[in-house]
Amino acid sequence: MSVITDSPIRSSARRFTGIAGRAGLADSACAIPAQNWREVAESGYIRLFHPQESGGTGAGADLMVGRMEELAQACPSTYWSATVSGLLCARLVSAYGNTSGAGAPHEELLSSLVSGQRLGAFAVAETTAGSDASTQRTTVRRAPTGGGYVISGEKSRIANAPAADVAVVLARLGDRADERWCLVFVDLTQPGVHRYELPHLGLRGMPWGGLVFTDTPVRAQDVLEVPLGELSNGMTWGWLLTSVSAIGIAEAALAASVRHAARRVSFGLPLAHMEGVQAQLAQSRAEIDAAKLLARRAAAERLAGSPARGLIAMLKVYATELGVRVAQRAVQIHGAFGVTTGHEVERLYRDAQMNVIGAFSSNRLREVIAEEIGLGAAVHEPFDWVRPAGLASDPAGLDGPAGSI
């Protein structure tokens, strides 16, 4: 059993003070400093997500989420990059790959991700496809020769894509009309892989961009057929990752606001003496602590083996929108400082926006929550607001036959 010395609610970024000191640099340079990678690996952060038999520490939910919050508070960009690789990608490899024992096909891959020696990317979204898997076009098929497979397609808006060593890719198995799905472990260092970077609003230090596969070779053992419904349960780790990112950002924004309110004098008194400012700070504190409790409960259920889809969906919606609200309050409290490029609060406000969209948008997750409480799956049917109102008629016949639009 893990021994926890911190409060299960309050946490700080003190273990990552060096990384916190370089957060502004990561944002302005649009790159994570190399020292950050070393400090994350040396801290044992990634090992928290895995059992001892996989090279991890077997940490419980309180300890795991607490450390995640600390890194997210220190530098959200570093947090995203490290956690996508070490939690999301590595968990998918351990869940669906063959990692049992020395010499297993994916034992070395898992070990390299858990140790931080390799950086992973989870490639799902495409240029024309987001949360709707039916529009995905990337396919994997048998190679003409050699007994392996080849993968073709483009994945876009992918965390770590420009810098990753390996990608866990969602693809159709066969052709574009095939309803079979698979996860493909792709070596990104080989020929047949083209990468590109995309500029982004927040989390600027995190490598973000696309991967283009052109008949890229893949070993047969690296193509793992997975039912799409089952895979959606595995992706809840990504929802948890995004939620804790938002909590860390909110914690950092609140801490900056408290410091500023205590120091900034207006009308002869510090801002902290003003009732309106106190109300904003108190509201932020209460909401952040509520999100932290929910995150620990969700992580505990997930670590116990439950998909916890409804619970983590609720957490993702609440925490990511909370992060934006707290960052907005921080901008208001800081005044003109909060909208000055390069200020900590300005950076956190941009970072907060990314979590609402990332790893399944909050709007789509509301449908998941509705389904979990018994309202049934969302039904998307064609509808027409124009004809029932009589607006479809064209008396002058200017647009073709009467009644057309």
188 and 312 belong to one structural domain: no
Do 263 and 366 belong together in one domain? yes
- In this predicted structure, what is the pLDDT of residue 51? 93
Residue where a domain stops, chosen among 207, 226, 245: 226
Q: Are residues 278 and 343 in the same domain?
A: yes
324: burial class by Cβ within 10 Å (0-12, 13-18, 19+)?
buried
Residues 138, 111 share a domain? no
Report the pLDDT value the prediction gives residue 362, as an integer from 0 to 100. 83
Last residue of a domain, one of 226, 252, 276: 226
401 in a structural domain:
no
Does residue 52 form part of some domain?
yes
Q: Does 351 lie in the same domain as 309?
A: yes
362 & 244 share domain: yes
Contact 40, 19 (CB under 8 A): yes
- The total domain count for the chain is 3
Residue 102, domain member (yes or no): yes
Q: Tell me, yes or no, whether 403 lies in a domain.
A: no
Question: 115, 150, 177: which is the final residue of a domain?
Answer: 115
DSSP assignment of 34-60: HHHHHHHHHHTTGGGGS-GGGTS----
The tokens describing 125, both together, are 């979204």
Residue 360 has pLDDT above 50, yes or no: yes
CATH number of the domain residue 284 falls in: 1.20.140.10
| Within a domain: 393 | no
CATH number at residue 186: 2.40.110.10
Q: Are residues 243 and 355 in the same domain?
A: yes
**256 and 274 both lie in a single domain:** yes
92 and 161 housed in the same domain = no
pLDDT at 272: 86
- Would 262 be classed as within a structural domain? yes
CA-CA-CA-CA torsion for 227, 358, 289, 67, nearest 10 degrees?
A: 80
Report d(CA 203, CA 23) in Å as an integer.
Answer: 10
**Residue type for 335, please?**
G
∠ CA 363-350-274, nearest 5°, is: 100
Domain at 49, CATH number: 1.10.540.10
Q: Which residues face 212 on adjacent strands?
A: 154, 194
Show the CA angle centred on residue 17, arms to residues 62 and 48, nearest 5°: 30
pLDDT band at residue 1 under the 50/70/90 scheme: very low
- Report residue 194 CA to chain centroid gap: 23
The pLDDT assigned to 396 comes to: 57
Write out the residue range of the structural domain in which residue 301 sits: 235-375
Residue 174 domain flag: yes
**Do 134 and 206 belong together in one domain?**
yes
Residues 6+ positions from 335 with CB-CB distance below 8 Å: none
Does residue 340 have a pLDDT over 60?
yes
Q: How confident is the model at residue 265 (pLDDT cuts 50, 70, 90)?
A: confident
Buried b (16+ CB within 10 A) or exposed e, 93-123: bbbbbebeeeeeebbebbbbbbbbebbbbbb
Give residue 13's pLDDT band: very low, low, confident or very high (50, 70, 90): low
> Is residue 30, in this structure, part of any structural domain at all?
yes
Shared-domain flag, residues 242 and 370: yes
What is the DSSP-derived secondary structure letter of residue 374?
Answer: I
Please check whether residues 199 and 300 belong to one and the same domain.
no
